[in-house]
Chain A
Amino acid sequence: MVVREKYEQELARVQQRLVDLCELAIHAFDRSVDVLLEKDAEKAWMLIEQDRFINRLEQHIQDDVLLIIAKQQPVATDLRRVMVLVKAASEMERIGDYAVSIAKETIRLGDAELVLPIEKIARMRVLAIKMLRDMLQAFITEDLMEAKVLAEMDDQIDELYGEALTELLAATHLQDGAESQLQQLSFVCKYIERAADHATNLAESLFYLVKGKHYAFD
């Protein structure tokens, strides 16, 4: 068995970078909801500031993969693997962007008292974070079964999202000054729901990597 040692090394380095990127992005996303709940504008600014690390890491991954393709000319599974690396990096970068968006909503909300129910948002967040973390693990170990189970978690989040929106709308009539918060909070719900969608995309990528066929988890 000829092992392509140099290639494996280069690949492992990029894979490590992706893991770093995922952890950074998930962490930022997790923190952003914390910041929202705590209404800490200063930390929100920090989060926005730190997003550039995530962006830079994604660019690094792109460059590395470009070099691998140019120098090692991978084919078949090897080629799919590096393609999926780039795709996963861009999914994760998006999650970083949602963290930034939520942070911006936090700043927009300012010091105003939250008059709408946010218990559903907290639950969505817990679920989404768990889904992202476990998905990362499944992605690293190329565990299709686990990925499939996790992808199905997306339905729960979608359901929660629907419920959260209804709750928000219903509460708007009861509270004064809720209209201004409604938009911001529904955006936040949307971001969390989208983040979970990206986790599903990751599962689809993983299936493509291993099976060589496109699957869709809807």
Chain B
Amino acid sequence: MAYINHEVVERQMTKRRTKNTVFKNLFLGATLLALLALVVLMYRMITQGAGYLSLDFLQNFSSRFPEKAGISAGLVGSLAMLAVVTPVSLFLGVGAAIYLEEYAKKNKVTTFIQMNISNLAGVPSIVFGLLGLTIFVRMLGMGKSILAAGLTMSLLILPVIIVAAQEAVRSVPGSLREASYGMGATKWQTIYKVVLPAAIPGILTGSILALSRAIGETAPLVVIGIPVIVQFLPDGILSEFTALPMLIFDWAKRPQEEFQYVAAAGILVLMMLLIFMNSIAVFIRNKFQNRY
């Protein structure tokens, strides 16, 4: 047993340690760079937009005059759209995930479906916009309504939710299912009483992140043709509306310099909404952390 020559090992030690340090600093640099970009962005938004944030800004409709421009129609529209997206995408997404994980036999068809779901998550959002325009707006005649936009957004985030929910369902240990089956529970009882309760924190965390993506998306709305200048609040699910990112997009396009600041203020509101939703996700994750 003399395969290891300790002298050689010692000689190479310095080189190995140097490499170790270099890589550690390289990765640290990558992290800092990403962080720096975020800080610069935040700094610009806050310095430019903070001045325009006010109660009036939240209550006013959009306007030709920067001082009078507000986001009320966009904020309410976005939240209304969320009210459509949440139930639709959760029901479809969790349902599909449970089917794929618990019921579907592991064969080629399932693998094919699985692959397509993963691919769908990578399809550009504008393609979903075109799909929504064709099916919901035109074929089903929903118009540029909250419902049409909400369904489009649901389709957009569905793959993400399915994958997240599958992950959560899969991470419920098999021993718990065995325990339930072992007592004579049916498959549905096992799913409903054991698997779902244990998977819910994971499902919710993933879903909320997906929902915040739905709120921030602009491209599908542009394609559907959601108007920008809306001088009323939506009064129903089929009502026309506008959304936060649409307003920001519109303001950012305008030539007057003041509108850049209005856009920044709009972005601040959107970001606060996102941060709020993400904190809920973090909260749920920490509170219901599973200990198997």
- A/B: CB atoms within 8 Å of each other: no
